[in-house]
Structure formats: structure tokens, C-alpha cells
Structure 1
Amino acid sequence: MSEEKFSVEAFEKKYVARLKDRTLDWNVLKFQEEIDPAYRRAQMRYIGRGATANNDSNVIAAEHFTLSTMVLPAGCMGPLHLHDDVEEVFFVIKGSVTALIQEEGESEVHEIILNERDCISSPPGVYRGLRNDTEEEALMLVMLGAVKPNLPTYPKGSALEELRIKRAIEREAIINGK
């Protein structure tokens, strides 16, 4: 069996993601924004497609985790959501955000202020969210600890959880040909 010679060009094509080749995706979480305009935010994927698995061929294929950046406009938030299978890391690159943490089955939401270069890791089974209480947009690095995480759930009774359940039923009907 002959081994191919290492090619830095092929390596770069497969394993390098450049900012100039990325665009902010304001639509990936648009379904949340349709529930509440305060959920407006954008994602820029670098490694993997994340839990939404958007068809983005311009990313480095994930082998163990996903990595993206997220823009959180002033006054906006990422709603409380729970990943049952994966930890999620938020690293603040620019600005300041309030991390929201809630234990499953509990009603109290804890708030933790994160400033530039602060980081929080949320383990599986803990609701997490973010809020930008400032007048400047925030920029964060977001990592999920799996190639293709399960879709997140939202607090019981919330409009987002009701929409998630409805979409799951519709998706199941399509799969089953109904």
C-alpha cells in the first residue's frame, strides 16, 4: 500500500477555517426569535454544525466537539435550554453577559456575570442561557462537547418547548409518511 505524501495545501483545506470565509448566520435560531424578538442572535460556525446541524459545508468536520462564535446584541438573550447529553462552554470574547443557570426541576434561575475572557461550562442536565444587559453587543465562543449533540429542550410549559414538541411531532409524521 502506498502512502500519499503530506500536503500542507490539503491539510489547510480540510482543517483551517478563516474568518474571511465565514458569515454570521442570523437564521439558525430564527425560530426562537419568532417566539420573542429578544432571542435575536447570530452564530458563525467553525468546527461542526452544532445541535441544529445546519447544512453548512464551510465548516471543519467535527471529530469530538463543535465550536462557533455567537453575537448577542444589546438587550437580547439566549433562552434557557437544556442539553441532556453534552456540556456547553461559553467564553466571552468581547463585552459582558449574564449567564443564567437553573437546575432541572427547580424554579430559581441563578445569574452569573461574565466579562471579557470569562468562561462558564454548563454540564449536561442543567438549564443554561445568556442575557446581554449592556448597550453593546457581546461576542462569545461556544463549544459543545459532542460532534452532533441532541437537540436541546426548554423549560416545561414555555413557548419554545411547546414549539419544539410540535416540530418533533411534525418531523415524526413526515418520517412516517403521514
Structure 2
Amino acid sequence: MTMEIKDLSIAEMQERVARYRELKASPQAFVDTRIPEYERDIYNVIGRGVTEDAGLAPSITDSRYFSITYVGAEPGKGAALHAHETIEVFIPLVGRWAAVWGEDGDKEIELDPFDVISFPPGIYRGFRNIGDSHGMLMAIIGSKETTGDGGRVAWAPSILEQSHATGLKVNTEGDLEEG
């Protein structure tokens, strides 16, 4: 295989840097975030990933093969059961987290900072901050192709029922809307 070797300028590389202090968060990036135990802040670092908030722009747009999202949550908060068509990796950065999975989320593994768990496609999974202070977690989503498209989130039916009761739904394009 022959690869074209490029030489980028400092200015071009600066466009490929996400500064944590400049990241913008969405407190309502997914349909489950109005349910109290799933309140969290989502930061799109590389690519949009599977975020349902159409207005949450990523810091780095080139997301071939994967995307990276940071999640910030208070103790007891996290993400509801959901599935993807691609691999998803969770890496706690600050605090202790529990990764859960299964039809009812009845299976759980506790994770410390910098531990890594990789969920295969088609498995309901979620996570929760089990520490005693605000925590940060990194999520890496694989893409179905080089476009950076990680697909859309498939929510557990009980989560969709709860979120619809809050007035939040996902439209046919996969974006949040009131209704």
C-alpha cells in the first residue's frame, strides 16, 4: 500500500486541536437527558458521534473511523440503556463509573480512571457516575465507514416511554425535538 505523505502547517494543525477550556457542552444532547438520573453534559470533541442535539458542533470535524465525546455527570447520573451499530468504548477520566448492560441493565462492571471497556455493536449499554463528586468520562464511537457516521442511538423501549413523557422526542433524522 502506498500512502500519500503530507506536511501540514502549524495553522492547519491548530484546526485539529480541541482545547478543553474552549469546549461547549450540551445538557440536552440526548432524548434521555430530561430524566433526572440521566442528566449529564455532553462535549463533542471529534465529530458529532451519535449526538441527537443538532446544534452541538464538534471541536474537530474530521472524524473518519471514530468520534470522541466527553461526558460530565454528577454522582448517580449517567446514560440510559442504549445500543449502537458500532463499537463504543468508555474510559473514565475523573471519578469512578459503572458500565451497565443487558436488556434491563442488570449486569455491571465498576471502572476506575483510565480503565477501558469496549461494548460490541447491538448490546444495550449505559453508564453511571458512582463516585462522590462530579466525574468525567470519555466515549469513543466507531464509524460504519470513513465518513465518521456512527449511526443513531437505539434506546431501550422503557427509556423512550420516559423521555416522551418529558416532551422530548427524536425525529426521523435522529435529532431532538419537542413534542
Q: TM-score w.r.t. structure 2 length?
A: 0.77
Q: Secondary structure at the residue paired with 2:125?
A: strand
Q: Secondary structure at the residue paired with 1:91?
A: strand
- Distance in 2 between the 1:117 and 1:125 partners? 24
The residue type equivalent to 2:42 in the other structure is Q
Change (3 A) 1:44 1:69: same
Q: Which consecutive unaligned segments of at least 5 residues does structure 2 have?
A: 1-5, 174-179
Q: CA-atom RMSD, angstroms?
A: 2.5
1:50 aligns with 2:49: yes
Q: TM-score w.r.t. structure 1 length?
A: 0.77
Number of equivalent positions: 159
Contact 1:96 1:114 in 2 (8 A): yes
Q: Secondary structure at the residue paired with 1:136?
A: coil
Relative to total residues, which structure has the larger helix share, 1 or 2? 1
The residue type equivalent to 1:143 in the other structure is I
* Structure 1 residue 16: Cα displacement: 1.6
The residue type equivalent to 1:142 in the other structure is A
* Structure 1 residue 161: Cα displacement: 5.8
- Identity fraction in percent: 27
2:36 paired residue number: 37
- Distance in 2 between the 1:44 and 1:91 partners? 14
2:149 paired residue number: 148
Change (3 A) 1:132 1:58: closer
- Distance in 2 between the 1:94 and 1:135 partners? 11
- Distance in 1 between the 2:126 and 2:58 partners? 27
Q: Secondary structure at the residue paired with 1:20?
A: helix
